[in-house]
Amino acid sequence: MYGRELKMVKKVVMAYSGGLDTSVAVQWLKNLYDCEVIAMVGDVGQKEDLEPVREKALKTGAEKAYVEDLTEEFVTDYVYPTLKASALYEGKYLLGTAIARPVLAKRLCEIAEKEGADAIAHGCTGKGNDQVRFELTVKSLMPHLKIIAPWREWDLKSREDCIKYAEDNNIPVPVSKDKPFSIDRNLWHSSYEGGVLEDPYFEPEDDMFLMTDSPEKAPDEPCYLELEFEQGIPIKVDGEKFEPVPMLEKLNDIAGKHGIGRIDIVENRLLGMKSRGVYETPGGTLLFTAKNELEYLVLDKDTMHFKETVSQKYAELVYNGLWFTKLKDSLDAFVDETQKNVTGKVKLKLYKGSVQIAGRTSPYSLYNEELATFEEDEVYDQKDAEGFINLFGLSAMNQGIIERKKKN
Ligand code: ARG
C-alpha cells in the first residue's frame, strides 16, 4: 500500500522558506518519491530578500521555483476580514500566523493546478497548528491532492540530523545564524516561540523584537493619530489616503516606534498542548483598538453583544485552520452586515507602549447627547422609567418574596 502510494506522486509543489529544513525536504522528497519538486516562496511581508531564496531552491534540487507576492491579497482578503470580525484568540492573540497560512496554502493549490501537480508539501512540524492550517486549506480547495509533511515522516530529529542529511546529499547548508527561538514574520505580526521561550517564566530580551522598540525607549512625548474607516476598513491616516499594504506598513512603523502591540501568552493549541508565544502586532493593535471604538459608537446594543460571541467563534475557527468553510463564510456575511455603518474617524493617543482612545466621530453615530444628558431634556420622560422597572423587575421581586418567606 505504502509503496503504491509512493509511486503515485509525480510532481509536488512545496512551500519553501529557504531554511535548512525545507532545503533538506526538497531533496528528501526527490529521493523518496523520485518526483519533480516545484518550490513556492510566498511573500507575505516577512521583509526578506526572496530572490536569493529562489536561487537556493533551485540549487537545492527544485526543478522550478515560484516567488509569489501575496502581500496585497494577505491584507485585503485575510487581515481585513479578521479585523472586521474583531477576532482575537483567547482574548489576546491577533492571529498573525493563523491568517498567513491559508493565503500561502491557497497559492500552493493554484500553482499545483497550473502545473498539474498531484501533491503539495509543507515544512511544518507534527506538533503545531500550522500543519493543520495548511492541510485544511488544501482539503477545502483541492481535496484530491496528496499532502506530504516530511517532518511527520522522516527520521531526522534535530538540526544536526538535517545538517548531516544535507551534507550527505550535497545540499548547500544555509549559513544563517541560529536564533534561540523560532520566528514567523509577516506584514501583520511577528511571532516568537520555542527554545528559550519555552520557559513561561523567562522574559525575552528586548533585542528579540523585530517590529517594535521597547516602551522604555519610546519617545517621551505622546503622539496623536487619526484613523478613518469606511465600513470597517481603514482608508486614511491623518487625513491621507493609503493603499492597504503601505497603510499597514506606515502603522507598523508608527506603532513600532511607540512600543505598541507586544503580547506574551500561554495559549491552547488545537492539538491540546499549551504553548507559550510572544507576538508583536503593532499596526494591527492600532487598527483593532480604533475600529472597536467606532463600533461602540455605531452598533446598537443587541448587535454589538451578539458580535462579541461571533468574534470569539470566528477567532477559534481561524486559529484552527477552518478558513475555507461554510461556517466561516456565514460568519463573514454577518460581520459584513454589522460593518455597514462602521464609518468614521478615531483619534488615538500613543504613549510608551499604550494606545488610548482620544476621540471618535461618525455620521452614523447612535450616541445621542440629548438622550444621554443628565440635564433637563425634551425627548425622554423620566416617569416612564417607573413602569419599565416594575415590569423588568417582576421576576426579581417574585424571587425576593420567596427568599424572604424562607427566612421567616
Ligand atoms: N502559536 C501561534 C499560532 O499557532 C504562532 C505560530 C508560529 N508558527 C511558526 N511556524 N513559528 O498561530
CATH of the domain at 115: 3.40.50.620
**CA-proximal residue: ligand 1, atom 10 (nearest):** 184
Specify whether 18 is located in the same domain as 146.
yes
Q: How many domains does the chain have?
A: 2
Asked whether residue 131 is domain-assigned, the answer is yes
97, 105 in Cβ contact below 8 A?
no
Specify whether 148 is located in the same domain as 233.
no
Tell me how crowded residue 332 is: count the other CB atoms within 10 A of its CB: 14
pLDDT tens for each residue of 56-97: 999 999 999 999 999 999 999 999 999 999 999 999 999 999
Q: Mean pLDDT throughout 381-402?
A: 96
Specify whether 225 is located in the same domain as 143.
no
362 as an active site residue: the answer is no
Q: What is the pLDDT of residue 176?
A: 66
Which of 144, 168, 192 lies at the terminal end of a domain, its last residue? Answer: 168
Which of 138, 168, 198 lies at the terminal end of a domain, its last residue? Answer: 168
Domain hosting 267: range is: 183-299+342-361
Specify whether 207 is located in the same domain as 160.
no
Q: Indicate whether residue 130 lines ligand 1 (CB < 6 A).
A: yes
Specify whether 82 is located in the same domain as 199.
no
The proportion of the chain whose per-residue pLDDT surpasses 90, expressed as a percent, equals: 90
Burial 6-33 (b: 16+ CB within 10 A, else e): eeebebbbbbbbbbbbbbbbbbbbbeeb
Asked whether residue 305 is domain-assigned, the answer is no
Atom of ligand 1 nearest to the CA of 128: 4
Low-confidence winner among 111-115, 222-226, 366-370 (lowest mean pLDDT): 366-370
Specify whether 79 is located in the same domain as 195.
no
CA distances 146 to 7, 126, 135, 153, 331, Å, are: 12, 17, 10, 14, 29
Low-confidence winner among 57-66, 85-94, 153-162, 235-244 (lowest mean pLDDT): 153-162
Specify whether 53 is located in the same domain as 130.
yes
Contacts for 113 with CB less than 8 Å, ≥ 6 apart? 142
> Which of 21, 43, 140, 275 is labelled catalytic?
21
Specify whether 101 is located in the same domain as 202.
no
119, 138 in Cβ contact below 8 A?
no
Mean pLDDT of the chain: 95
CA 384 – ligand 1 centroid, Å: 54
Q: Categorize the per-residue pLDDT at 370 as very low, low, confident or very high, splitting at 50, 70 and 90.
A: confident
Which of 168, 199, 226 lies at the terminal end of a domain, its last residue? Answer: 168
Asked whether residue 261 is domain-assigned, the answer is yes
CA 191 – ligand 1 centroid, Å: 7
Compute and round to an integer the Cα radius of gyration of the chain.
Answer: 26
185, 159 in Cβ contact below 8 A?
no
Specify whether 348 is located in the same domain as 279.
yes
Q: Indicate whether residue 197 lines ligand 1 (CB < 6 A).
A: no
* Per-residue pLDDT at 205 exceeds 70: yes
* Predicted TM-score (pTM) of this structure: 0.95
Q: Which amino acid is at 184?
A: D
Specify whether 154 is located in the same domain as 230.
no
182 as an active site residue: the answer is yes
34 as an active site residue: the answer is no
Specify whether 234 is located in the same domain as 261.
yes
Contacts for 245 with CB less than 8 Å, ≥ 6 apart? 45, 71, 72, 75, 187
**CA-proximal residue: ligand 1, atom 9 (nearest):** 184
The CATH number assigned to the domain holding 203 equals 3.90.1260.10
Specify whether 15 is located in the same domain as 142.
yes
Contacts for 201 with CB less than 8 Å, ≥ 6 apart? none
Q: Which residue out of 82, 101, 129 has the highest number of ligand 1 atoms within 8 Å of its CB and is therefore the one to mutate?
A: 129
Asked whether residue 252 is domain-assigned, the answer is yes
pLDDT tens for each residue of 256-302: 999 999 999 999 999 999 999 999 999 999 999 999 999 999 999 99
d(CA 259, CA 376): 45
192, 182 in Cβ contact below 8 A?
yes
Grid cell listed for 291: 475600529
